[in-house]
Amino acid sequence: MKKVISTIQNALEYLDKLGPQKSFQLFRNLGYEALFSISEKVDHKKLLFLSQNLSEQEIVTLLQSIQETTLVDLIQNTVPSDLVYYVKHLGLKDLKFLAESISPLDVSKINHTIGSKTIVEILTNIGPDSSIAYLNSIGIDPFLELTKALPVKDFVPLTKALTPEECAEWIRKRSISEIPALLKGLGTKNAVNLLQQVGFQKVISILSVLNPEELVNLVHTLNKMKLPSVKKPAAKKTKVPQNKRSSKRKRKNV
């Protein structure tokens, strides 16, 4: 009896907050049982917020495309306004991939630490697959520390120059703080060029001798130097064999 009363109260609240038209459309497209099944498993206030701020099609696709157990964890561990932002700016395909690839607790930690806007920027620029690869390689806490220390405009080029495995190796052998320090000291573009031209392993070797500050000072010193110009050796003239010269003279005399 208590369950029946709760269900009726929820239904009346949907009718009141969403209006009869949207409420009945959701009931028809999702099915009464499916809608109230998930309402029993999550705070129905959160579900009501989603229903108010997403279109009917977005709600239906969200509830139908993601497995209920995964969706329940996602709704429970995500601020409703953040979840609406993900649906609007990320797309349900990528949202489903992330919800199935990251544990609910990690989802909550990521949302709380760097926020939905930063998450969407990273995912949009480097892709969900690469994002998960970095997350898995370096771990959730180092990933969050690195993305907090670096603006997205600096983090994205770094991921183009370093593989997830190289980034994990750098953090393991050196420290997370060294990466932002080098990018800040040299400038992101210069640091990325250094990694691409010199190579990751050689840069790590250099940093084992010179710390980031010393390396930056060395680069600035080299930039101020006026190096002597190096003349290219003149191209050697090809000597004509003696017999060919003789044959040329004979033709002229004929």
Going by C-beta distance under 8 Å and a sequence separation of 6 or more, which residues neighbour residue 103? none
Count of CB atoms situated within 10 Å of the CB of 148: 14
pTM: 0.74
For the purposes of burial, counting CB atoms within 10 Å of the CB of 254, is it exposed (0-12), middle (13-18) or buried (19 or more)?
Answer: exposed
Q: Which residues of 108-141 are buried (b: 16+ CB within 10 A; e: fewer)?
A: bbbbebbebebbbbbbbbbebebbbbbbebbebe
**CA–CA distance, 171 with 221 (Å, rounded to integer):** 27
- Mean pLDDT comparison of 24-28, 55-59, 94-98, 246-250, highest-scoring range: 94-98
The pLDDT of residue 4: 43
Strands (DSSP E) found in the chain = none
Identify which has the larger pLDDT, 19 or 105.
Answer: 105
Whole-number Cα distances in Å, 91 to 19, 94, 168, 192, 205? 26, 6, 29, 30, 42
Reported as a single tens digit per residue, the pLDDT across 129-149 is: 999 999 999 999 999 999 999
The alpha carbon dihedral of 125, 128, 129, 133 has a sign of positive
Reported as a single tens digit per residue, the pLDDT across 79-137 is: 899 999 999 998 888 988 988 899 888 988 998 999 999 999 999 999 999 999 999 99
The residue to which tokens 């010199």 are assigned: 198
Identify which has the larger pLDDT, 13 or 75.
Answer: 75
The pLDDT of residue 2: 45
The pLDDT of residue 217: 87
User: In the structure, what pLDDT confidence band is assigned to residue 210 with cuts at 50, 70 and 90?
Assistant: confident
The alpha carbon dihedral of 207, 210, 213, 214 has a sign of negative
